[in-house]
Amino acid sequence: MDRLDLPPMKWVNSIGAFELVLAGSFVLLYLAFIWRVIRTTQRLGLPQRRVLIKTILRTIYFGLIITALLGPSFGDTSREVKTVGKDIFICIDLSQSMNATDVQPSRLEKVKFELKNIVEAFNSDRIGLIMFSSEAYMQCPLTYDNNALNLFIQTLNTDMVPNFGTDFGPPLEMATEKLIADDTVITRSKSKITILISDGEDFGDNTDEIAEELESEGITLFTLGVGTKQGSKIPTRNGFKTDKSGNEVVTQLNSTSLEELAENTGGEYFEINESRNDVARLISAINGVEGEMRDAKQVDATQNRYFYFLGLALFLMLMDVVFSVKLIKL
């Protein structure tokens, strides 16, 4: 004879110490009330059958109400769970000009603050960090670990990379290689994004070639310029940075190369300065990029069936009200 295997009962809520104390107090008080009713019926010589029935009835619907509150879940059901997300590489310029203070407290510190907002906005996506100046270095590979990513962001400073000019080519090439080489996804779509953050002119020779590769691979590029047209001096440990002639250098935002790069790859240019902050628009633009399905699986699920128990309890409560016990004979 085959045995029928019923699905196990699961509970949405659990009983804690406080609930147990309340339930125990109620049971004790109710038992005292029942004892008093029985003693009264005995003294009056009334039949105790109805009292016993009502006691059992009330005990049952009280138990049903407790069961409903616990959220009984059962039943064999399944549903498909899909994991959808984006891969985002952030390339941040760490040339000395990022220490300029035309954006308070400095260009770099302002960027670091806004990067934390971007990370928080996309906490379910994989984000990586590349730092660059004339060369590019992987600071943090693609990761879901936002705490680690924020720690890497906090430690960014202009002493971490050689400073011999700014070249957009190396960070874009590194980001492209990492995004293309990633084969952990099921499909390839436009869910791969690179954000290039800089304040200066591009002195590289192969940026245009990398931009064409970005576009051909379907990688969306957003550029973010930091600084002002008026510019400011570059603070150093001994005052301000000077050129070969001894004159203090004034660094200005050169947005032309960033705008052209974004336009050539079908992306969009954004800017941060004292009167403009496009980070919210940048986040909105990234949100507009369609996510990519990374995984899909069937999971077993049960449904909270509390209403069955609550409905039966209400019916028994109605029966309790309809059938009363007479303690006095007229």
The Cα–Cα gap between 301 and 279 comes to 40
Where are the alpha helices (H) located in the chain, listed in sequence order? Answer: 17-44, 49-70, 107-121, 146-154, 169-181, 207-216, 256-264, 279-287, 306-322
Comparing 175 with 5, which gets the higher pLDDT? Answer: 175
> Which pLDDT band, with edges at 50, 70 and 90, does 78 fall under?
low
Among 32-36, 202-206, 252-256, which range has the highest average pLDDT? 252-256
| pLDDT of residue 82 exceeding 60 | no
Task: Quote the pTM value.
Answer: 0.65
| pLDDT of residue 92 exceeding 90 | yes
Tens of pLDDT, residue by residue over 10-23, are 666 666 777 678 77
| CA 36 centroid distance within chain | 58
| pLDDT of residue 76 exceeding 80 | no
Lowest mean pLDDT among 202-216, 278-292, 312-326: 312-326
pLDDT confidence of residue 28: 85
| Phi, psi angle pair for 287, to nearest 5° | -60, -30
| Phi, psi angle pair for 318, to nearest 5° | -65, -40
| pLDDT of residue 304 exceeding 90 | no
> Which pLDDT band, with edges at 50, 70 and 90, does 155 fall under?
very high
Bridge-based pairing state of the strands 136-143 and 232-233: unpaired
Segment 256-278 shows an average pLDDT of 91
Share of the chain above pLDDT 70, in %: 82
Work out the widest C-alpha separation in the chain, in whole angstroms: 119
Q: To the nearest 5 percent, what fractions of the chain are helix, strand and coil?
A: 40, 25, 35
| pLDDT of residue 279 exceeding 90 | yes
| Phi, psi angle pair for 53, to nearest 5° | -60, -45
Q: Which long-range contacts (CB under 8 A, 24 or more apart) does 148-152 make?
A: 149/119, 150/116, 150/119
The Cα–Cα gap between 224 and 81 comes to 35
207 CB-near residues (< 8 Å, 6+ apart): 167, 168, 169, 172, 257, 261
R_g of the chain computed on alpha carbons: 35
CA distances from 29 to 20, 22, 25, 32, 51 (A): 14, 11, 6, 5, 16
| CA 155 centroid distance within chain | 23
Segment 249-273 shows an average pLDDT of 91
Helix, strand or coil, per DSSP, at residue 325: coil
pLDDT confidence of residue 109: 95
The Cα–Cα gap between 190 and 289 comes to 7
Helix, strand or coil, per DSSP, at residue 284: helix
The Cα–Cα gap between 271 and 263 comes to 14
The Cα–Cα gap between 327 and 63 comes to 26
| pLDDT of residue 199 exceeding 70 | yes
Helix, strand or coil, per DSSP, at residue 151: helix
> Which pLDDT band, with edges at 50, 70 and 90, does 269 fall under?
very high
> Which pLDDT band, with edges at 50, 70 and 90, does 207 fall under?
confident
CA 290, 269, 107, 173 torsion-angle sign:
positive
The string of DSSP letters for 28-59 reads HHHHHHHHHHHHHHHHHT--SHHHHHHHHHHH
Share of the chain above pLDDT 90, in %: 39
| pLDDT of residue 81 exceeding 60 | no
Average pLDDT of every residue of the chain:
82
> Which pLDDT band, with edges at 50, 70 and 90, does 1 fall under?
very low
Q: Which residue has the tokens 């019923």?
A: 6
| pLDDT of residue 289 exceeding 80 | yes
pLDDT confidence of residue 186: 44
| pLDDT of residue 313 exceeding 80 | yes
Comparing 263 with 11, which gets the higher pLDDT? Answer: 263
Lowest mean pLDDT among 26-30, 31-35, 94-98, 320-324: 320-324
Query: Is the bond preceding 235 in cis, omega lying within 30 degrees of 0?
Result: no
Q: Which of 161, 174, 153 is nearest to 110 (CA)?
A: 153
Q: Which of 15, 67, 23 is nearest to 308 (CA)?
A: 67
pLDDT confidence of residue 211: 86
